[in-house]
């Protein structure tokens, strides 16, 4: 497993790295409680700098306190329709997994079948895992596969129990392989206009970290 990562600077997260900006950030942080409970950013493609930082499958995820959720929804009825996009937590009170079921797929029509795939920067928290379990139990026509870059708080017994419940409800939980990161890069990350699409460049230890998390997930499930 890779050595402990140094805490990333703001520059790595696409933000200026200076004291003044840091003070502004602190002030903004204090105002978070004034925000509505769900402040979610949605779109078709996320900035490359966010992908490179937030989706990186390191063991020590300092500074990676947002959830980025890329989704593909295949709706099968008389005709098949596919939609895709991404959700991003805007602040600590919002959960992208919850927002998906509240805004992207608030209702499953009983006459249709839904095959949903998520590519998420990290696995869901206990509350979101419970919501996923309830939704799958309630909607037998919904199939959900979740591909995650990292496991969130996987050492906690409560978290392990929540992941097991998700599996029992029919959720397929997988760790993202290098090929999955490449798929997200090609399909969900902004490419510079007027330029040829840049190839995905795997980071150091991407394969080793995938194997580490895959082993941990197998032990839990």
Q: What's the topology of domain 41-190+202-220?
A: Cytidine Deaminase; domain 2 (3.40.140)
The pTM of the full predicted model, rounded to 2 decimals, is: 0.73
pLDDT of residue 6: 35
| Helix/strand number for the chain, H first, E second | 7, 6
Structure tokens at 196: 């040829």
Please, where are the H alpha helices in the chain? 19-30, 48-54, 96-99, 126-138, 157-168, 178-188, 206-220
pLDDT, greater one: 172 or 36: 172
23: left (phi over 0), alpha (psi -120 to 50) or beta: alpha
CA within 13 Å, CB half, 115: 6
10-22 per-position pLDDT tens digit: 333 333 334 444 4
Q: Give me the mean pLDDT over the 7-12 stretch.
A: 34
Q: What is the dihedral of CA 105, 57, 181, 104, to 10 degrees?
A: 10
pLDDT of residue 42: 56
Which of 184, 148, 143 shows the shortest CA–CA distance to 163? 148
DSSP type of residue 46 = B
Q: What is each CA distance from 38 to 33, 65, 105, in whole angstroms?
A: 11, 16, 16
Q: Which of 6, 15, 97, 204 is catalytic?
A: 97
- How far apart are the C-alpha atoms of 133 and 165, rounded to whole Å? 7
Which of 100, 43, 113 shows the shortest CA–CA distance to 74? 113
CB 145 within 8 A of CB 183: no
CB 150 within 8 A of CB 205: no
Please count the other Cβ atoms lying within 10 Å of the Cβ belonging to residue 135: 18
pLDDT of residue 51: 66
Active site residue 195: no
Please count the other Cβ atoms lying within 10 Å of the Cβ belonging to residue 209: 22
So where are the chain's domains? 41-190+202-220
Q: What residues contact residue 166 under an 8 Å CB cut-off, 6+ apart? A: 124, 129, 132, 133, 136, 173
138-193 per-position pLDDT tens digit: 999 999 999 998 888 878 889 899 999 999 999 999 998 989 988 988 888 877 65
Instruction: Decide if pLDDT at 198 tops 70.
Output: yes
pLDDT band at 118 (very low <50, low <70, confident <90, very high): very high
- How far apart are the C-alpha atoms of 200 and 178, rounded to whole Å? 10
Structure tokens at 54: 């937030």
């Amino acid at each position: 497993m890779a050595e402990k990562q140094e805490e990333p600077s703001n520059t790595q997260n696409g933000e200026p790295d200076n004291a003044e900006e840091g003070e502004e950030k602190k002030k903004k942080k204090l105002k978070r409680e004034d925000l509505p409970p769900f402040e979610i950013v949605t779109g078709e493609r996320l900035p490359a700098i966010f992908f490179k930082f937030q989706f990186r499958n390191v063991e020590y995820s300092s500074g990676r306190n947002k959830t980025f959720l890329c989704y593909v929804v295949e709706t099968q009825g008389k005709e098949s329709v596919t939609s895709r996009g991404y959700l991003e937590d805007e602040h600590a009170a919002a959960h992208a997994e919850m927002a998906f079921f509240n805004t992207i797929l608030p209702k499953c029509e009983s006459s249709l079948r839904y095959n949903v795939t998520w590519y998420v920067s990290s696995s869901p928290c206990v509350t979101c895992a419970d919501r996923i379990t309830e939704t799958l139990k309630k909607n037998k026509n919904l199939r959900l596969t979740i591909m995650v870059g990292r496991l969130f708080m996987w050492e906690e017994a409560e978290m392990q129990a929540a992941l097991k419940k998700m599996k029992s409800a029919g959720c397929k939980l997988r760790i993202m392989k290098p090929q999955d990161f490449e798929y997200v890069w090609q399909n969900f990350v902004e490419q510079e206009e007027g330029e040829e699409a840049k190839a995905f460049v795997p980071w150091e230890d991407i394969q080793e970290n995938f194997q580490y998390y895959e082993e941990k997930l197998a032990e839990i499930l």
